[in-house]
Amino acid sequence: MFRIKTLNRISPAGLSKLDNTRFSVGDETDNPDGILVRSSEMGDYVFPDTLRAIARAGAGTNNIPVARCSEAGIVVFNTPGANANAVKELVLCSLFLSSRKIVSGIDWVKQLARKGEDVAAAVEKGKAAFVGPELEGKSLGIVGLGAVGVQVANVAVKLGMKVYGYDPFLSVEHALNLTRSIHRVMDLESIYKTCDYITLHVPLNPETKGMINTDSIHMMKGHVRIINLARGELVDTKDILEALETGKVGCYITDFPNNDLALAKNVVAIPHLGASTPESEDNCAAMAAMELKDYLENGNIKNSVNLPDVSMEFSGMDRLCVIHKNIPNMLGSIISILSPENMNIENMVNKSKKDYAYTMLDVNSKVPENVIDKIKAVEGVLRVRVIHH
């Protein structure tokens, strides 16, 4: 029985993938083999020795201490693209909200009613204060052309916008799905200087943290509208509030409110709803649960952020799974431990991702405990597991 701990509410569409004859799932589970998480902060989480994998039902893994997981031989998964459509739709909504003064207009109508005014008459008299431009013909800058950025680009082109995109690491898969009508730029400055609207779709990491600050805002057009449904820390709160005050930034829409932003003028602060649709919650949960299941049951890895994609049909009796550092002679060291035991390797795979690697070997006999201990003792080996077929 595998023990799975949930740190957030995970859609039943995902939990149902973990059948209760093989998995016990709960938010109180001790010593879990796997964790299912959404946005819970895991920075200080103490990993039990039992923990083998964490699956993030979502895209961003900045709430998970990935480097620490790698060193402990814990596989971290995410669910690429599973919530991208939901975010794209909220970006669309944000583009309209940032342009047309819909939120402040609605607030004003309520105020009129509360004051007992003749609302129908008052709106016709006062609505000029809420004029806002159309999107057609305006320029949109997209920072990050991944699962979300590509979908935003494709739909913005259909709205008649001039779309500029920046992503120095654009993947082939995303490039193939990207509209040909986009102007791909090679530096952020071009986005900042050209665009009436800027939307962020990059992960939060040391390179992207605080990328929208006084210096970058200085390069932007007056009254630029900025949309940030990616992560709050991409934008320096103090700097954007100053720019909103002067009118340099016309509107800031964020999915990551804090106390300073919540009541600020020309800020629309959404309570992290980017992925909050039933469809996307189901997609993310199902994908995360399947990743966890396939890893725990079969040793296969798909969509991990710290280890390579590795998948192999079972052949043989036992499967030896070794997570190790990506350093020379690891495979040689493992095989030299198996050979004297007369263990025949039926099939094997060895792949790396940056500093870490994964070796899976199917052998035609049972792997004895002393062999496991010897492999564990090899310098650079982080985690050893045997799956009996």
Which spans of this chain sit near ligand 2HG (rule: CB under 6 A)? 38-39, 58-60, 83, 274-276
> With contacts defined by CB under 6 A, how many residues of the chain interact with ligand NAD?
33
Alpha carbon distance 103, 247 (integer Å): 18
CB of 21 to ligand NAD, least distance (A): 33
**Binding status of residue 165 toward ligand NAD by CB under 6 A:** no
CB of 321 to ligand NAD, least distance (A): 26
**Would you say 58 or 316 has its CB closer to ligand NAD?**
58
Q: Which among ligand 2HG, ligand NAD, none contacts residue 132 (Cβ within 5 to 8 A by kind)?
A: none
Among 146, 250, 299, 316, binds ligand NAD (CB under 6 A): 146
Q: Which among ligand 2HG, ligand NAD, none contacts residue 39 (Cβ within 5 to 8 A by kind)?
A: ligand 2HG
Q: Which among ligand 2HG, ligand NAD, none contacts residue 207 (Cβ within 5 to 8 A by kind)?
A: ligand NAD
Binders in 80-99 for ligand NAD, by CB under 6 A: 80, 83-84, 87
**Binding status of residue 212 toward ligand NAD by CB under 6 A:** no
Query: Which residue lies nearest ligand 2HG, judged by its C-beta?
Result: 58
Among 2, 77, 166, 356, binds ligand NAD (CB under 6 A): 166
**Binding status of residue 250 toward ligand NAD by CB under 6 A:** no
**Binding status of residue 203 toward ligand NAD by CB under 6 A:** yes
Alpha carbon distance 253, 101 (integer Å): 12
Binders in 32-91 for ligand NAD, by CB under 6 A: 58-60, 80, 83-84, 87
The answer to whether the beta carbons of residues 82 and 60 sit under 8 Å apart is no
Q: Which among ligand 2HG, ligand NAD, none contacts residue 91 (Cβ within 5 to 8 A by kind)?
A: none
Which residues are CB-neighbours of 168 under 8 A, at least 6 positions away? 186
**Binding status of residue 201 toward ligand NAD by CB under 6 A:** yes
**Would you say 87 or 249 has its CB closer to ligand 2HG?**
87
Q: Which among ligand 2HG, ligand NAD, none contacts residue 169 (Cβ within 5 to 8 A by kind)?
A: ligand NAD
**Binding status of residue 261 toward ligand NAD by CB under 6 A:** no
CB of 54 to ligand NAD, least distance (A): 16
List the 381-388 sheet strands across, edge first. 345-353, 356-363, 318-325, 381-388
CB of 134 to ligand NAD, least distance (A): 26
